[in-house]
Structure 1
């Protein structure tokens, strides 16, 4: 999964690096779309968390027939929900992007990019639901492999569709979105063929299962979606703060956001692969194994993110040079890298705790922890830092917010796992 996440997030960074060659205006326009793209991802991840948790618990309890019905439901309902959300975001694009600080020239660039980007988001969501089905059944190899395949397809298509070939001038900014859409379409075709070879889906009893599972699904998906939707909301507020500093700062922040997700590849892989394992242990009542898994995950994440963060901070000028040709954007990006990357060790702790909470029947605690990370620690520190010290203050404030969130999450997890109860605390209450 780590290799797959690296490939998936790597091609998103490659997208931004190619777009940066078009100009600062195009890169800033793409940066304005990130919060809404994260909104779609938040909904799909929230649904995927709930279904993966329910399927893995069913398998742990020996209920294979129910697991098949749940697998069919996620593929059908997920595609419908993300499709409706994408249509709504297309219809409301002008007021939303204007409220984020996009001017008339940025809105014009976004208009041509947003439709193919929404199509790519819908195809990516359908692909993600398929990945969730495989992960719930303990197969992380195929999702990881398909992430690599789709990334390679996107890497080949990006320069062709953005800059053109021969006498064809290319599509410019929309070309990046079309490359992603085609890559996800290829991945979806392969994944659909592989799912057809399994017995993980059911055609009968879906309505009955929907009625029976609606409440437990909502109990996990509701808080999980809120937890996943809070980062896009925070990203909207953050980019509004950055927009007050200037266009070059928005472009640098957009590249830093892509670099953030890439640098968190191991954390993201852990949040995908760990919950199904925890869910099976939960279904079997094996809390000793749950304790061992969490200790191992947290130690590995902190060690890896600290090492990676320090190396990236030392190499910040060269990393920024590779990602942007604009000297002003390059200098701002190097500054952000130096302060933000080392702080992701603490951010990774918080993300693992939130992911484990959803898998182990503590969705409300996970939601509250996610909200506290963003709206009590991260955003206030970021905004105060920008007000006091511009971009430097913003970078320092964001790093302090991540550190505070990680320490708080670690304290919450220690109290939860120190409890001798066999049931989640929300259920016991």
Structure 2
């Protein structure tokens, strides 16, 4: 999963790097779309968490027939839900991007990019639901392999569709979205073909299973989706703060956001692969194994993320040079890297705790922890830093917010694991 996440997030960074070659304005336009793109991702990840948790617990309890019915239901419901969401985001694009601070020229650039980007978001969400089904059944190899395949395909298509080749003129900014759409569509065809050969889906008894599983699914998916929707909302508020500093700062922040997700590849891989394992242990009542898994996960996150963050902070001038040709954007990006990347060790701790909470039947605690991370620690510190020291202060404030959130999450987890080993309710 780490290899797959690296490939998937790598191609998103490649998108931004290619778009940066078009100029600051297209890069800023893409950066304004990140919060709404994260909104779609938040919904799909929240549903994916519920998929993995419910199916893995069901398999742990040896209820394979029910697991097949759940697999069919979540694919159908998830596909329809994301389709409605992307249609809504297309309809409200003008007022939303205006509120985020995009001027008229930037909104014109966004309008041509937003349609194919929403198509890519829908295809990527359906593909993610397929990945979640494989992960729930203990297969992380196929999702990881498919992430690599789609990333490589996107890497090949990006320069062709953005810049063109020979007499064929490129599409510019929309070309990046069309490249992603084609890559995801190809991945969806391959995953669907593989899934058709598995005995993981059912066509009978779906109505009865929907009535039986709707409440427990909502009990996990609801708080999980709210948890996942908080980062896009926080990203909207954060980019509105950054937009007050200037267009170059928005472009630098967009590149830093891409680099953030790439640097968190191991943490993201663990948030995908750890919950199904924890869910099976939960279903079997094996709390000793749960404790061992969590201790190991936290050690890996802190050591890996802190080492990587310090290394990337030291290499920030060279990283910024590779990612941007604009001197002003490059200098701002280097500043963001130096302060933010080491703080992701604490952010990783918070992400692992939230992910484990959803898998172990504490969705409300996980949701509250997500909310506290963003709205109690991260955003206030970011805003105060921007007021006191512009971009440098903003970067320092965001890093301090991540550190405080990680410490708070660690304290919450210590109390949870020290409590008596009982089965918590799905709404606790």
The aligned residue for residue 271 of structure 2 is: 271
Q: Does the residue aligned with 1:22 lie in a helix, a strand or coil?
A: coil
2:361 alignment partner, SS class: coil
What residue is the counterpart of 1:378 in the other structure? 378
Matched, 1:334 2:309: no
Q: Secondary structure at the match of 1:124?
A: helix
CA distance in 2, matches of 1:278, 1:272: 11
CA deviations on 1:322-358 (whole Å, 9 max, x unpaired) are: 0000000000000000000000000000000000000
3-state secondary structure, aligned to 1:102: coil
Counterpart secondary structure, 2:192: helix
Partner SS, residue 424 of structure 1: coil
Residue in structure 2 matched with residue 73 of structure 1 by the alignment: 73
Q: Within the alignment, does 1:61 sit opposite 2:47 as a pair? A: no
Match of residue 37 from structure 2: 37
DSSP-derived class of the 1:202 partner? coil
**Residues of 2 paired with 1:425 and 1:323: CA distance?**
47
Structure 2 residue 320 is the aligned partner of structure 1 residue 320? yes
1:51 offset after TM fit, Å?
1.2
Q: Does 1:185 align with 2:188?
A: no
Match of 1:103 in 2: 103
Aligned to 1:7: 7
Displaced runs of 4 or more, over 2 A: none
CA distance in 2, matches of 1:400, 1:372: 14
| TM-score, length basis structure 1 | 0.99
**Structure 2: runs of 5 or more not aligned:** none
Q: How far apart in 1 are the matches of 2:274 and 2:329?
A: 37
Residue 156 of structure 1 pairs with residue 156 of structure 2 = yes
CA contact (8 A) 2:278 2:360 kept: yes
Counterparts of residues 61-140 of structure 1 (less than 5 Å): 61-140=61-140
CA distance in 2, matches of 1:222, 1:109: 34
User: Is residue 22 of structure 2 the alignment partner of residue 27 of structure 1?
Assistant: no
Shift of 1:206: 0.5
Match of 2:405 in 1: 405
Distance of aligned partners of 1:426 and 1:141 in 2 relative to their CA distance in 1, 3 Å threshold: closer
Contact 2:60 2:280 in 1 (8 A): yes
Q: Secondary structure at 2:21's aligned position in 1? A: helix
| Contact kept? 2:219, 2:426, Cα under 8 Å | no
Aligned residues: 428
Question: 1:102-251 maps to which residues of 2 (within 5 A)?
Answer: 102-251=102-251
SS in 2 for 1:29: helix
How large is the RMSD of aligned CA atoms in angstroms? 0.7
Kindly provide the CA deviation profile for residues 375-419 of structure 1, in whole angstroms up to 9, marking residues without a partner as x: 000000000000010000000000000000000000000000001
Shift of 1:425: 6.4
Distance 1:228 1:326 in 2: 33
